[in-house]
Structure formats: structure tokens, C-alpha cells
Amino acid sequence: MTRRPGLSVRLKLTLSYAGFLMVAGTLLLAVVWAFLLRYVPAGVQGPGTFGPNRGDLVDAFTPKAAWALVALLVFGLVGGWLLAGAMLAPLTRIAHATRLAANGSLSHRIELEGRNDEFRELADAFDTMLARLEADAAEQQRFAANASHELRTPLAVTQTLLDVARKDPGRDPGELVARLRAVNTRAIDLTEALLLLSRADRGAFNRDHVDLSLVAEEATETLLPLAEERGLTIETSGDVAPTVGSHALLLQLATNLVHNAIVHNLPEHGAVWVTTGVGPRTVSLTVENTGEPLTPQLVATIVEPFQRGIGRVHDDHAGVGLGLAIVNSIAQAHGGTLALDPRPDGGLRVTVELPAGST
């Protein structure tokens, strides 16, 4: 947006300081005139007396007062210019940092020295914003690189299958179609997961009253056949847990947690526990599962995109490595938190806390 050029803030402050000094000086001279010179006799009081009358004092006072006002004007302009420059120096540093950020340099920090004042608060807030933007930009770049890698894999597999089929015309087309369908399904699942993650990050959803316990039950019932197929048991318990948010996203959150608990479990005779709870100001959803022992270092990384715990699970229900990343984004979009803890007997405990809503 183009604007007409105007006076700088420093010049405006300088003129304001000089104008204030001129007004103060004029008032002072007016006080001298009103309360001193007016009481000096206008002429000689009597014969034999000699002294300056009012006219003499006015003639002597006027040029000196004019020179005093000129000196005040010069002092106000020079002093105001220097004082305004010193006061606006922090803004210059902030403007410089803003231009660097606009050009893509998010690593620069203002780090304003001195005591805490309005400029220091502004600079600290700007530094905090730059740190957050730098972290978000790094996360987006890393996520984009991982997503590109993951999306390239099914495309490369598809290309390989087509090349093999072209070189071997007598190959069974049914097998080729089945494998292409599986690869294409995985690519679609990954794309939908990326879109869901982006939607959660933007917070683009409607908010309604949701009972987290009902959402957990719905997710458990949906995945119960998968658990039975793997010889696992699922137990659900807990209280009514009202919150406010998107039913679809919260259902996806619960589904991802239960799905991960089923897939990353013992080969047989494993168990999954789904529990909801209510606190003073929060509601919680906890999903625990048996499984291999996990170290705290490994648990700290599996919430990252495309991480799959101990290793990649190669079966039809392995997912795309975005389950817990989506859960974390949905929880944060609802003002909640995600906590992961390794179970002493093996497996994982995942707890999501959300702000409590009205019943």
C-alpha cells in the first residue's frame, strides 16, 4: 500500500519539544510582564527623583526576551532532535529486525538491553515471535521433506511394478492389479492423513459439545474386529468426559490412539486399555497397551511425523507414520496436551488432556 511521504516521527517529536519550550518561554515572559513590569511606574513620580520608568524597562527587556526565545527555539530543536533520536533508537533496531524477517532471516534477534520499559517489552515480544516462527518454519521444512520422501515411495513402487509388467507381458495381471491397488491405497491414506494434519494445525473446524467417553467407545467399537483378528483384548472404562471441539477430529484422535495400541502390541495375548477421566478443569483420554519395552529416548521421538516406534510395521494396518503426529496436532488445536510414557512391563501409555466443557 503506497502512502504519501510525511514527516518522520523523530522530526515530529523534535518540533513538539521545541514548540513546548517556546510556549513555556513565552508564558514565562508573560508572567514577568504581568507581575513585575506592570507595577513599575510609567513616568517620573516627582521632582528630584530619578529612575527607570516602565518604558525604559520595556525597551531593555524586549530585545533580550526576543533573543531568549530564539535561543530556546534553537535549544529545543537541537536538543529535541538528539533526545528523540535516543528515544527512538530501539525502534530502529526493531525495524531492522523486521526487515530481516521479511527477507526470510528468522534467526536474527533484537536482544534489547536496558531496564524493562515499553520498548523492551516490544522487543522481547518480537524476539519471542521470531523464535516461534523460526521453529515453525524448521518444522514445516522437515515435515515437507519427510512427506515428500514418503509420497515418493509409493510412486516409485508403482513405477517399478509397471516397468516389470511391460517387460513381462505374460505376467498374471491380477497380481499386478492387486499390488497396484495396495500401493495406491497407501498413497491415498498418506495424502488424507497429511490433509487432516494440515486441517488440525490451522484450527479450521467447528466446535460443539462432545463427550470424550462416547468418542472413545465409538473408536473402540470400530477397531474391535482388528483387535480380535490379532488376538488382543480391549477394555474401556471411565466417566463422562465433556469437552468442546470437533467430533470428527476427536474421533480421529481416539481412533489413531487405539489403532496404534493395537498395531504396536504383542503378537498374541496382548491387551489395550482405554480410559476417560475428569479433573477440576480438564478431561482426559488414556490409552495403554502391552508390547515391547520402550526407552524414554525412543518415546520422546515417536510423536514426530513418520516415526513408528521400534521399527516399521509392514502389514495392511501399519498406517503411514502420522498417527501420533495427528493426535498431537488435534490435541493442540483443542487447547490440550499429549503425554507419552513407557509402561514398566512394556508397551506405551498415551494420555490426552483437553479443557473440560459443560455437561
Higher per-residue confidence, 324 vs 241: 241
* pLDDT reported for residue 337: 93
**Of all residues in the chain, what percent carry a pLDDT higher than 70?**
76
313-348: burial string, b at 16+ Cβ within 10 Å, e else = eeeeeebbbbbbbbbbbbbebbebebebebeeeebb
* pLDDT reported for residue 150: 60
Q: Read off the C-alpha cell for 305.
A: 511425523
The answer to whether 311 touches 353, Cβ cutoff 8 Å, is: no
* pLDDT reported for residue 316: 46
Residue 319, pLDDT above cutoff 60:
no
Cα(23)–Cα(166) distance, rounded to whole angstroms?
A: 93
Residue 116, pLDDT above cutoff 80:
no
Mean pLDDT of 280-295: 91
Candidate CATH numbers 3.30.390.50, 3.30.565.10, 3.90.650.10, 3.40.640.10; the one for domain 208-355: 3.30.565.10
* pLDDT reported for residue 80: 81
Q: Read off the C-alpha cell for 170.
A: 505374460
Q: What is the pTM of this model?
A: 0.55
Cα(81)–Cα(13) distance, rounded to whole angstroms?
A: 8
Mean pLDDT of 222-251: 89
Report the chain's mean pLDDT, rounded to a whole number: 78
* pLDDT reported for residue 353: 95
Q: How buried is residue 287: exposed, middle or buried, by Cβ count under 10 Å (0-12/13-18/19+)? A: buried
* pLDDT reported for residue 42: 60
N residues, the chain: 359
* pLDDT reported for residue 36: 65
* pLDDT reported for residue 287: 95
* pLDDT reported for residue 43: 57
Q: Read off the C-alpha cell for 1.
A: 500500500
Mean pLDDT of 309-338: 68
Going by pLDDT thresholds of 50, 70 and 90, the confidence category of residue 328 is confident
Highest mean pLDDT among 37-41, 139-143, 244-248, 305-309: 244-248
**Of all residues in the chain, what percent carry a pLDDT higher than 90?**
16
Q: Which of 59-68, 203-212, 216-225 has the lowest mean pLDDT?
A: 59-68
Domain coordinates in residue numbering, the chain: 9-42+51-105, 208-355
* pLDDT reported for residue 17: 81
Going by pLDDT thresholds of 50, 70 and 90, the confidence category of residue 284 is very high
Residue 133, pLDDT above cutoff 70:
yes
The answer to whether 249 touches 219, Cβ cutoff 8 Å, is: no
Residue 49, pLDDT above cutoff 60:
no
* pLDDT reported for residue 354: 94
Going by pLDDT thresholds of 50, 70 and 90, the confidence category of residue 310 is very low
